[in-house]
Amino acid sequence: MRRYARLLASYAGIAITAMVLYTPWLVGLAPSDPSIVRASLSVICGILLTGAFGASTYAYLQGPEYRLLETGEVEGPDDVLPLLQGFVELPVVGGYAQEGATQIEQMEYRRERLNRVIEAKFGAESLSHDRFVAVVDSARVTLLRNCALLANRIQSFDVDSYRKPKKLLPGQVGSAEPTDEISREREHIFEEALADMREVIEANERLLLEMGKLEMEFSDLESDDNREGNTRMLEEVADLLEQTKYYR
């Protein structure tokens, strides 16, 4: 529905622009204008407006890409982010796609900040630097692969069947309960799929929170060579990675 509203808004914008440009008592452009400049401008504006109309229509008709992902092929944001962004407008599951896309962007931001903090604290050539950078990179890959699983779940979710009104038994009026065993099973499958999506989102949120906590805790270490504190943080993040590796 939002895509359709945006299409109508773009059509309205094109129509208003054309009216302003070509109405005689406004800008009054015309291909037959005695001025070569104004006549040329009229033609150029006409081409641009036609292109805008075609591009708006194409964007509306072009549905989201559907492509199941393998976790092994997901190493960077570009492997999964465009796919999730294409699902944002879908009913029911679009919100999960938006959350996943936002989480990927947040992880990229946190990773960049953490890498700067780690280098500033330990130096680029130290063992501690390499260990923490490896952990941060593992957290990033875990979140990306979780989001790949989320994208696959979204693609396999039959939105039309989920939104289809439930059949009523003869004599029933407006019952929201499933009317037979098949309906109950179908509803259970849908609810399980939505629960899976929520769990992926929540797992990623825990991972992002731990990355924020990790950045804050660097400032709490008494010295750059606080090995006990370093080890504790590495162990905590490693444990969390195992808990949030939802794609297994």
The tens digit of pLDDT for each residue in 214-223 reads 888 776 655 5
Are residues 19 and 117 both part of a single domain?
A: no
pLDDT at 147 > cutoff 50? yes
Domain that holds residue 208: 71-244
pLDDT at 4 > cutoff 60? no
In a domain, 66, yes or no: no
Residue after which a domain boundary falls, among 35, 61, 87: 61
Are residues 238 and 151 both part of a single domain?
A: yes
Q: How far apart are CA 236 and CA 229, in angstroms?
A: 11
Are residues 29 and 149 both part of a single domain?
A: no
Query: What values do phi and psi take at 175, rounded to 5?
Result: -70, 135
pLDDT (0 to 100) of residue 197: 94
Are residues 48 and 152 both part of a single domain?
A: no
Are residues 47 and 143 both part of a single domain?
A: no
pLDDT (0 to 100) of residue 1: 44
If phi over 0 gives left and psi between -120 and 50 gives alpha, with beta otherwise, what is residue 169? Answer: beta
- Lowest pLDDT segment from 56-65, 97-106, 129-138: 56-65
pLDDT at 84 > cutoff 80? yes
In a domain, 164, yes or no: yes
Q: Which residue bears the tokens 């050539």?
A: 125
In a domain, 118, yes or no: yes
Considering only residues 166 and 212, tell me which one the structure prediction assigns the higher pLDDT: 212
In a domain, 215, yes or no: yes
Are residues 8 and 99 both part of a single domain?
A: no
Residue after which a domain boundary falls, among 41, 61, 81: 61
Q: What would the mean pLDDT of 214-241 be, rounded to a whole number?
A: 69
Give the pLDDT confidence of 9-39 residue by residue, as tens digits: 777 888 888 887 778 777 777 877 788 877 8
Are residues 32 and 110 both part of a single domain?
A: no
pLDDT at 89 > cutoff 90? no
Are residues 88 and 16 both part of a single domain?
A: no
- Average pLDDT score over the chain: 80
pLDDT (0 to 100) of residue 61: 53
Residue after which a domain boundary falls, among 10, 32, 61: 61
pLDDT (0 to 100) of residue 187: 86
Q: How far is CA 175 from CA 7, 10, 29, 170, 171, in A?
A: 36, 41, 61, 11, 10
Number of domains in the chain: 2
The fraction of the chain above a pLDDT of 70, given in percent, is 80
Are residues 57 and 108 both part of a single domain?
A: no
Residue of 236, 210, 233 lying closest to 221 (CA atoms)? 233
In a domain, 234, yes or no: yes
pLDDT interval class at 7 (50, 70, 90): low
Structure tokens at 210: 């731990």
pLDDT (0 to 100) of residue 5: 62
B/e letters for 120-153, b = 16+ CB within 10 Å, e = fewer, are ebbeeeeebbebbbebbeebbbbbbbbbbbbbbb
